[in-house]
Structure 1
Amino acid sequence: MIKILIVDDSNFSQKITANLLKKYIPDLELYFANNGQEGYEKYKEINPDYLFVDLLMPNLNGKEMISLVKEYHSEAKIVVVSADVQKSVREEVEQLGVLYFLNKPFNDEKAIFICGVIRIDRNE
């Protein structure tokens, strides 16, 4: 069973991401958080295999949360799914060591790609 934590302040985006991931990897255990602070606490609690993070969130933004997660667990596997498409933001986040930066909207094409990456990573 693969554990994935989805951190996004939009319930709609959470549902879209969850449904698409489940479509291509049925044996998922999904967890959700509505902001970076809640996401960081849940990350420490459940130790997911993968973390899907939006950047633009209240309380603690995605970039700040990624920094905290990487300090806590440097090998964390993080996928950013964000509407923030600024090149400087993308470069900054990639320097933090995320696996991939995907632009919203998360769709079938992106889900097929990232689920393929997860399957290869998990030797499935």
Structure 2
Amino acid sequence: MTDTLLPNGIKDSGGERNYFRKGCNPFAQTGRSKLQNKRASLNQQIIKQMRIRAGAENLLKATSNNKVKEMVLLELSYVNSNLQLLMGQLEGLNSSVDVYQNTQDTANIPLIALGLKET
């Protein structure tokens, strides 16, 4: 949660006289927001490839020219491989839980079971 990125336009010199106080940077991205942005980008790319595939399938159904059919089949294979890669990347992002783990050292407090607690 503490790892942040500054946008391209803002420079951080590390001093106390920064424009933004520590923890107050509205442009900072946490690990969760970076993961969410990557997911959104992948989803947009997947939607684009699905539209291309749907258009290619429609063209394949509509055409009777063999040369055009070959080109469309080649495009379909390319789009399908792109979709598989994008789906794999999205699956990898969805299975990553490192962002949601607290990396700070916290004190471990032993828990006492209720049945063993003295009253």
Per the shorter chain, which TM-score range? under 0.3
TM-score (norm 1): 0.21
More helix by share: 2
TM-score (norm 2): 0.21
Higher relative contact order (CA 8 A, sep 6+): 2
More strand by share: 1
Tell which structure's C-alpha radius of gyration is larger.
2
